[in-house]
Structure 1
């Protein structure tokens, strides 16, 4: 580093994903270029105005709930001082220059507090990804993956423009990278009536971070989708790619028939995102009604299923190459495994198990041993134990993302 001061305002302007800075009273204090572009608004139309005056509910939609849901999330942030990750929202917005004419839009929102020295909420960072085209493409035709890919390509080109601008900003300090990572990953929260323990541990070193992610989503019925992924590379570039892929997979999961189909859509989308090639992803869909787990992996280390008797089953019967590794589309594999009550499902990235000059089977054996030793622990305690036992004492040289769910 050359010691040049970082222009955080300039970094804010070009970050991928729409960003609003809100006061605790939900008045808009600042906005980045991505959100202006997505909303079709000028800066002077937003700054200093109450959020829900600028973005009112669609009065023609009797089922509209976007305003109510967003307001409840923002109020939770102010009350708790903790980040709140919302489920995918339909929140229509007025067409630019056409008051009263609303356009159907779908968003993936996260609300994060900025605290003062006394721990009070000073600002709220409202971050959204517009996933409208992904949802529409999937809803129109689950089977036509190539048509979905063509529509996703348009979105990828727009996001790539922002990512290129991000790469050109020379603010590559670790603090900025970790702040961006923190804003993109969801906080632990109940999914339906189930709860997962999640952990993210950055790698040691200034910029060797920001390729790993996790995501959880509630699905119709008593089901949960959980995924972990790892983008090749590090720093702000990897963070931008990570945010795009996480949002795309979250949207695809809502309309795909299962994890294999969701990863197929993500793989086609990844072809149009520079830096997404060779990304590894694993996704599992847990169904508590049938007591089964459907899973698929794109080059990722296998999820681990800890049975109540202490045996550990590696879910490795549906593994395929990483995203973008094949020149032509091939259907991805999917497998299903039963589970019993009180089993534990663990998904993780390679920082947890891989070591240089060591066979991966040794790391997997370490993981299985640690799981067996702590099989009676609750999810939060087990997650902490895995990190304490498996990460090197001085810190890992790669990111680690970890999700633990007691079934």
Structure 2
């Protein structure tokens, strides 16, 4: 076998180490021969079954913490997308053909995420090394007694740690709720732009700790002939990021009322950001729409490029005026600005990176997905376009970063 002709299933089965594949819900998807031998189970007794139905806790021995520790490790891998190497674990394993008879085993597990095409965790690779004989050889019964005492102490400490983690989880959940309310209060409600239709969306990331500082803004400029549209993204999470977001959104909104163009508005915002703790490396994109001249003037501070969908379904990314994020340069400099004409019926889309970026994937892949979706659905009204973009681009596992989105029919 060579190159693309490798039969990876055969390789998996031939591995000398015990390994199993589990779904995100901890259901066995596959197991190699070494794992089945180690577990004392057949393929039919494992595949398609929940991990802890196959290996339940020993109800007679609360000191055997291996099963619950394994569950915590696997769920950490699902949430974080990072491998987890566990310390040596003691398990009580029930004999498959003798219910109620338990055997003391010592296993050293490693749990590794397997990513799907969208960058989310699709499977878990669970590898186990058997060290029971080594433990027994190093002291027999006396060592076993010491191990049991240690396990009991570890169990107590684990319970205490679980209680602390639960209190932290509740505190973070309260913080997330407050931050979401704060964001909703500071982000403007959708409103008509004359006879032009617009839709806005804000979607928080999945997970209790992922409230971020994304924002959007639409403001009619004096004179009634132009509108300033902007999106931005503050680095960080939680209440502090939400607070910084509110300050920067308000500052950019005020600057956009008097600035000659979007570049000047971002220059003012950059100067202001230097006095705001936590505003470093914030990205933002600003577009001024001239309704009478049918032109868009735009500038970007390290932000993904806005998108213009023309009536003939072709797409242009507004990427000719990109500069570093706020505060990235030690001294103030003039920011670039570019312009493009638009035809009535075109669609303008501004968004934050949560819509297009995926872990371990080049950003160009996300931009291509966005362009393909707006090409297919850009003839619809902005509300439907906004919903469709989210449906097409948000991965099945949910967003890993907040997302702000503006869709305007020009």
TM-score range, shorter chain: 0.5 to 0.7
What corresponds to 2:115 in structure 1?
Answer: none
CA distance in 2, matches of 1:271, 1:299: 16
Q: Is the 8 A contact 1:177 1:207 kept in 2?
A: no
Q: Compute the TM-score of the two structures, normalised by the length of structure 2.
A: 0.57
Q: Does 1:402 align with 2:401?
A: no
In structure 2, the gaps of 5 or more residues are: 1-170
User: Alpha-carbon deviations, 1:151-209, whole Å to 9, x = none?
Assistant: xxxxxxxxxxxxxxxxxx99952211111111111111113333310000000111211
What corresponds to 1:333 in structure 2?
Answer: 336
CA distance in 2, matches of 1:376, 1:261: 33
CA distance in 1, matches of 2:303, 2:268: 17
CA distance in 1, matches of 2:400, 2:254: 31
Q: Does 1:230 align with 2:233?
A: yes
What corresponds to 2:203 in structure 1?
Answer: 201
What corresponds to 1:67 in structure 2?
Answer: none
Q: Is the 8 A contact 1:229 1:281 kept in 2?
A: yes
Q: Is the 8 A contact 2:297 2:340 kept in 1?
A: yes
Q: Is the 8 A contact 1:203 1:209 kept in 2?
A: yes
Residues 286-325 of structure 1 correspond to what in structure 2 (within 5 A)? 286-325=289-328
Q: Is the 8 A contact 1:178 1:210 kept in 2?
A: no
CA 1:170 to 1:365, structure 2 compared with 1: closer, same or farther past 3 Å?
closer
What corresponds to 1:142 in structure 2?
Answer: none
Q: Does 1:269 align with 2:272?
A: yes
CA distance in 2, matches of 1:270, 1:182: 22
2:255 to 234, 241, 252: 252
In structure 1, the gaps of 5 or more residues are: 1-168
Query: 4+ residue stretches of structure 1 with deviation over 4 A?
Result: 169-172
- SS of 1:346's partner is strand
Q: Is the 8 A contact 2:201 2:386 kept in 1?
A: yes
| Deviation at residue 210 of structure 1 after TM alignment | 3.0
2:347 to 344, 349, 357: 344
CA 1:336 to 1:172, structure 2 compared with 1: closer, same or farther past 3 Å?
same
User: Alpha-carbon deviations, 1:65-118, whole Å to 9, x = none?
Assistant: xxxxxxxxxxxxxxxxxxxxxxxxxxxxxxxxxxxxxxxxxxxxxxxxxxxxxx
CA distance in 1, matches of 2:362, 2:301: 20
CA distance in 2, matches of 1:190, 1:199: 15
Q: Is the 8 A contact 1:228 1:282 kept in 2?
A: yes
- SS of 1:237's partner is helix
What is the aligned-residue RMSD (CA, Å)?
A: 1.4
User: Alpha-carbon deviations, 1:235-254, whole Å to 9, x = none?
Assistant: 00001000000000011111
CA distance in 1, matches of 2:209, 2:198: 28
CA distance in 2, matches of 1:240, 1:230: 12
What corresponds to 2:363 in structure 1?
Answer: 360
- SS of 1:193's partner is coil
Residues 202-217 of structure 1 correspond to what in structure 2 (within 5 A)? 202-217=204-219
- SS of 2:197's partner is strand
CA distance in 2, matches of 1:361, 1:210: 23
CA distance in 2, matches of 1:179, 1:195: 26
| Deviation at residue 375 of structure 1 after TM alignment | 2.0
User: Alpha-carbon deviations, 1:125-148, whole Å to 9, x = none?
Assistant: xxxxxxxxxxxxxxxxxxxxxxxx
CA distance in 1, matches of 2:172, 2:352: 28
CA distance in 2, matches of 1:228, 1:215: 6
CA distance in 1, matches of 2:246, 2:191: 19
What corresponds to 2:180 in structure 1?
Answer: 178
Q: Is the 8 A contact 2:173 2:209 kept in 1?
A: no
CA distance in 2, matches of 1:333, 1:172: 41
Q: Is the 8 A contact 2:309 2:378 kept in 1?
A: yes
- SS of 1:284's partner is strand
